[in-house]
Amino acid sequence: MSLKRKAFSLLIPAVTLAFLAPVTPVSAQTERTVTKLADGIYEIQHREGAGGNTTVIIGDRQVFVVDTGFLPSAAREDIEQIHEWTDKPVSFVLNTHFHNDHNFGNRIYMDAFPALTIIAQVETKKDMDRFGPGSLQREEKDSYGNQQALQKMLATGKLPDGRPLSEDDKKEVKAELARLPKVIEELKGVQFQSATLTFERGFSVDLGNREVQVKFLGRGNTPGDAVTYLPKEKILIAGDLVDHPLPNVYDGYPSEWIHTLENLAQLDANTIVPGHGPVLHDKTYIYLLRDLMQSTVDQVDEKLRQTAPAMFQTADDVKGSVDLTAFRQRFAGNDAELAAAFDSVAARLVKLVFDEARLR
């Protein structure tokens, strides 16, 4: 996936909330890719719109899968791939959080492996039960809104930030307009499957000469973000606590997310699987995310100290006092489209930090 294509997708206004559908509604990852992380451990990066990353961990006795994706067709494709790798059963699935693009494939796995245990942190299970059953109706409504936004871009010839659509952009928009109805049709056959086992702080599983540690290190992207850590292989599977090349900040707890990222960085890992995006090979990006959020929280808090508590202000009153341009180069380099996407993410982050401050 090129950063240019990813940046374009991030500029499209997502009508859906993050827990209802994939964050970026325009296709950016056009090919499904598989990365071997170690013997018997694989990361699957789905085509954009098919779901977040899936990680497959194979032991001598059992298989552990982290996140099951969004589209049933993608989950079935992954299961076929797993059967090619091993004849051992998938005994455990972990949903890292409640967003549907990481757990809507649960039912497909349960049908394929009837003895399966689906695991989630306690708060994730609560949110899955709250939002999951009504997902199709919301997807249909939000798909219509996305189609309207995309059609407007074709009619005006402009991206949401005012820049003209290139010929490649027009192809992306038309492809997405053709894809959305197919997605809804596919989802009509999905039966939502929630977690069947919950945990609070963490646990370990021995798959047979392979230890898998599941941890809750604090709130961040959601109330119940779970991570998976393989101490022997030094592999960390982070869910949407870490998305690349830009964070998912449609919701969450930025002031706590900072500390959760610090806890994440304490784990001895040299291979990091983000919730979306390619595999990372050091912790540089984790620290960059932490610094971005810390700067945003510090600047919003300083503005509130100088003026008035958040309950007496709006996000618009604060946003002009928060300057995150120093981070644009660090995230986007010289890529103009990714820089524009960063500006959109930064604006959402400021609002999210302000909204969090209003609750204090």
Higher-scoring residue by pLDDT: 313, 53 = 53
> What is the average pLDDT across 125-130?
97
Query: 124-133, 178-187, 192-201 — which is least confidently predicted?
Result: 178-187
pLDDT band, residue 350 (cuts 50/70/90)? very high
pLDDT at residue 30, as a whole number = 65
> What is the average pLDDT across 124-133?
94
Tens-digit pLDDT profile for residues 288-304? 999 999 999 999 999 99
Higher-scoring residue by pLDDT: 142, 68 = 68
CA distance 140 to 188: 10
Tens-digit pLDDT profile for residues 251-291? 999 999 999 999 999 999 999 999 999 999 999 999 999 99
pLDDT band, residue 33 (cuts 50/70/90)? very high
For residue 3, the surrounding DSSP H or E stretch is helix 3-11
pLDDT band, residue 48 (cuts 50/70/90)? confident
CB 139 within 8 A of CB 184: yes
Comparing CA positions, the residue from 129, 130, 82, 133 lying closest to residue 109 is 82
Angle at 206 between CA 202 and CA 208, to 5 degrees: 165
CB 273 within 8 A of CB 237: yes
Comparing CA positions, the residue from 344, 359, 130 lying closest to residue 256 is 359
Angle at 140 between CA 134 and CA 143, to 5 degrees: 130
State whether the Cα torsion 169-170-175-181 is positive or negative.
positive
Rounded-to-10 torsion of CA 219, 264, 288, 284 = -160
pLDDT at residue 29, as a whole number = 55
Query: Is 352's pLDDT higher than 90?
Result: yes
User: Percentage of the chain with pLDDT > 70?
Assistant: 91
Tens-digit pLDDT profile for residues 312-334? 888 888 999 999 999 999 999 99
The residue behind tokens 């784990």 is 267
Query: 115-124, 159-168, 224-233, 293-302 — which is least confidently predicted?
Result: 159-168
Higher-scoring residue by pLDDT: 180, 84 = 84
Q: Is the pTM of this model over 0.75?
A: yes
Domains and CATH numbers, the chain: 3-131+192-283 (3.60.15.10), 287-358 (no CATH)
Cis peptide preceding 245, ω within 30 of 0: yes
pLDDT at residue 26, as a whole number = 31
> What is the average pLDDT across 45-70?
95
pLDDT band, residue 311 (cuts 50/70/90)? confident
Query: Is 177's pLDDT higher than 70?
Result: yes
pLDDT band, residue 23 (cuts 50/70/90)? very low
Query: Is 237's pLDDT higher than 50?
Result: yes
Beta bridge partners of 198: 120
Tell me the pLDDT of the chain averaged across its residues. 89
pLDDT at residue 276, as a whole number = 96
pLDDT at residue 152, as a whole number = 87
pLDDT at residue 100, as a whole number = 92
